[in-house]
Structure 1
Amino acid sequence: MAINRSELVAAVAQQTGKSQVEVNGFLDAMFQVFVEQVSQGEKVSIPGWLSVERTDRAARTGRNPQTGETIQIPAGHSVKLTAGSKLKAAATAK
């Protein structure tokens, strides 16, 4: 079972006693900080829970799956999410 953003906002609002509008604003601000830091190449770390960082990908040769033609894939960036110890422990607890 997956939880979507509105369900997450509702659950956090219930646990904290804050309004859903306040929780939603907090999540927007938190993700905006993630975007700003990661786009600058900075790592965002919440010890025990998760870390988010930008990774570099080198240019490489690939294949077009439809034609089999060799293509050049340019260098680029990606994002790496790493689970922290508390999150890993929660995943293996049950």
Structure 2
Amino acid sequence: MDKTELISAVAEKVGLSKKQVREVINEILSQIAKQLVLGQKVKLVGFGTFSKQYRAARDGRNPRTGERLIIPERHVVVFSPGSDLKQQVQEPMQQASQSQEDADNKQDDKKE
């Protein structure tokens, strides 16, 4: 899903125009970015936390040429998923696993 698809889905779900939803989403993203620039964490309870982390300079290699180079120090954005999001992501796997177990049990029952 890209940003345009997200805007369409939210607009349909909440009954607002795509323009209104686009403005809200753009402002949310702008506020998240602004706080990260200031060194603040952005915690969305149940969803996750955005934060800025420092990465020191390090040695690396150009993957095409194999040439050694120094990767400069930098800040990166890190996202840590919240417990609710982790659980939602795992549920389909758990359901699929349970479905496979049920199917295996049915096959075993037929053999007996």
Q: TM-score range by the shorter chain?
A: 0.7 to 0.9
Unaligned runs of 5+ in 2: 93-112
Q: What corresponds to 1:78 in structure 2? A: 76
Q: What corresponds to 1:64 in structure 2? A: 62
Unaligned runs of 5+ in 1: none
Q: CA deviation at 1:83?
A: 1.1
Q: What corresponds to 1:37 in structure 2? A: 35
Pick aligned residue for 1:90 from 85, 88, 91: 88
- Structure with the greater relative contact order (CA < 8 A, sep ≥ 6): 1 or 2? 1
TM, length-normalised to structure 2: 0.75
Counterpart amino acid of residue 60 in structure 1? R
Which has the larger strand fraction? 1
Which has the larger helix fraction? 2
Aligned mates of 1:43, 1:17 — CA distance in 2: 31
Q: CA deviation at 1:20?
A: 1.0
Q: What corresponds to 2:18 in structure 1? A: 20
TM, length-normalised to structure 1: 0.88
Larger Rg: 2
Divergent runs of 4+, >4 A? none
Aligned mates of 1:73, 1:88 — CA distance in 2: 32
Identity in percent: 35
Aligned mates of 1:38, 1:56 — CA distance in 2: 12
1:59-90 per-position Cα deviation (integer Å, ceiling 9, x unaligned): 11112233333222211111101111111111
Q: What corresponds to 1:10 in structure 2? A: 8
